[in-house]
Amino acid sequence: GIQVEQSPPDLILQEGANSTLRCNFSDSVNNLQWFHQNPWGQLINLFYIPSGTKQNGRLSATTVATERYSLLYISSSQTTDSGVYFCAVEGNYGGSQGNLIFGKGTKLSVKP
Amino acid sequence: NAGVTQTPKFRVLKTGQSMTLLCAQDMNHEYMYWYRQDPGMGLRLIHYSVGEGTTAKGEVPDGYNVSRLKKQNFLLGLESAAPSQTSVYFCASKVSGEQYFGPGTRLTVT
């Protein structure tokens, strides 16, 4: 099945700094989503981005499907950005079709 | 529009007990999913449903059963709970390719 690798596994930032999180996947995908899991465990949808670039406030994401990676950019980080960021992909064949395969996440800590 | 809701939020079971987790969505979505999340891990798919009356196995289905008798509800059952089933359980529904998650159920099996 599809493998999803996220890097870095851990990231510590000072408030106001910028960061880039990376997601590599091993095969072609139908869909890709980025989630933020906050310290209370809620999974919040950030982007649905199978290809191209999207922006939402201080966050933006780019997926280059042909090269099998996606990037999540966080600018001017705030303490409320802390938590775990997950990338998840939906394969386009076989057993993974229609189902999300999650990476292990990037744990972000933003210090005041 | 409450989105995806899960009942209960927390539960402690003893080994061998049974229970049912309820997921409900009010968005008329066809696809629904049950995942589990273990410490330091991403989510793994247990079972899913592509419509009322249909279910299928995911990556980690052993020890669980599901039912989708009504479109808006997806039930996850544990017939004989084991400590290895201690986890946080998330339900999701999907529309136009994007999945939306419920708040989770934290289950501890002692």
Alpha-carbon gap, residue B92 to B47, rounded angstroms: 11
User: A48: closest CA among A40, A39, A56?
Assistant: A56
Percent of chain B past pLDDT 90, that is, above it, reads 90
Residue B100 has pLDDT above 60, yes or no: yes
State mean pLDDT over A24-30: 92
Residue A70 has pLDDT above 80, yes or no: yes
Residue A97 has pLDDT above 60, yes or no: no
Q: Give the Cβ contact number of residue A84 at 10 Å.
A: 21
Predicted confidence band at B2 (pLDDT cuts at 50, 70, 90)? low
Residue B97 has pLDDT above 90, yes or no: no
> Chain B: nearest CA to A78, how far in angstroms?
23
For residue B9, the 8-state DSSP code is S
Q: What tokens does B17 get?
A: 């007990």
Contacts of A90 in chain B (CB under 8 A): 97
Contacts of A98 in chain B (CB under 8 A): 31, 48, 50, 94
State mean pLDDT over B69-74: 96
Percent of chain A past pLDDT 70, that is, above it, reads 95
Provide the mean pLDDT of chain A: 93
Residue A21 has pLDDT above 70, yes or no: yes
Q: Is A111 on the interface with B (CB under 8 A)?
A: no
Residue B44 has pLDDT above 70, yes or no: yes
On whether the CB atoms of residues B37 and B88 are closer than 8 A, the answer is: yes
Alpha-carbon gap, residue A24 to B68, rounded angstroms: 34
Task: List C-alpha distances in Å: B78 to A109, B6, B30, B46, B102.
Answer: 35, 15, 24, 12, 19
State mean pLDDT over A45-54: 96
pLDDT at A94: 58
Alpha-carbon gap, residue B82 to A69, rounded angstroms: 38
Residues in chain A: 112
Predicted confidence band at A99 (pLDDT cuts at 50, 70, 90)? confident
Provide the chain A residues 62-101 that lie in CB contact (below 8 A) with chain B.
86, 88, 90, 98-100
pLDDT at A60: 98
